[in-house]
Structure 1
């Protein structure tokens, strides 16, 4: 009887090994192709607003700090990274409403320092960040600068 049990056990083990081996190698082979795509968002336009006010620029007066905010509109598709805001003098409007020239009063009568102001922020849509650090002062020349009395210095801002 023992031999029959051994033979039966060996037969069952062999059947399991063969069955498992066959199952492990049974598969369907096929081929195929596919396509896919992804799109990236676009960067939107930020809004830059000056928050500081500057008055009484004059010979010998201290330079005044320029500051403001950079806003990412709520309608933007994603956040935007703004490294810095750079300010420049775009024009000078004289007290009579005309644009100044080198013969009267122009940007050379003013000193703009530290024009590139650090922001270094990832601005979420609908949020804003601040900037500050540039200064505007009056350039005291050796010539008559009376044409600059009451003049308005106009700035341009660029974010990058």
Structure 2
């Protein structure tokens, strides 16, 4: 085996140092690597339409005020949904019985309606048959008053 000269020792040490520095540089570059990416998936069409109902006692006469309860049915077997702000309006089945003679309110409870459920209470309100001192309201005798309820 040959004896290493001072020059060979210096070159060997410099080479070793270069290898260590180069390896450390690669590790440094690895830890500071950046990147980006994304992913996507299509959500269910769930949370769909619920069927809303208004329930109140019949037999209205001018001046009556009735409590109205609002309920919802959710036929979707997989997804619950939340009923938002309720809206309500009145129609009648007789042309002379004017919807303007009625006031209806709908107070929202912002209730979650569970999947595959029926009759969940979602709000309440009142139905008022306003009494008129100046108009004959006889056309409303025996008429059907319908409250149409919606959610927005």
Place the TM-score, normalised by the shorter chain, in its bin.
0.5 to 0.7
RMSD: 3.4
Q: TM-score, normalised by structure 2?
A: 0.65
- Distance change >3 Å, CA 73–CA 150, structure 1 → 2: same
Q: Which residue of 1 aligns with 2:148?
A: 156
Of 96, 117, 128, the residue aligned with 2:107 is 117
Q: Which residue of 2 aligns with 1:138?
A: 129
| Partner-residue secondary structure (3-state), 1:25 | helix
Aligned residues: 129
2:103–2:130 CA contact under 8 A, matched in 1: no
Evaluate the alpha carbon distance shift between residue 159 and residue 24 of structure 1 in structure 2; reply closer, same or farther with a 3 A threshold.
same
Q: Match for residue 48 of structure 1?
A: 52
* 1:39 counterpart = 2:46: no
Shift in Å at residue 36 of structure 1?
4.1
5+ residue gaps, structure 2: 1-15, 31-35
Unaligned runs of 5+ in 1: 1-14, 94-99
Q: Does 1:84 align with 2:91?
A: no
Deviation by residue 1:36-70 (Cα, 9 ceiling, x = unmatched): 431122341111123x3322211233x00110212
Q: CA deviation at 1:146?
A: 1.6
TM-score (norm 1): 0.62
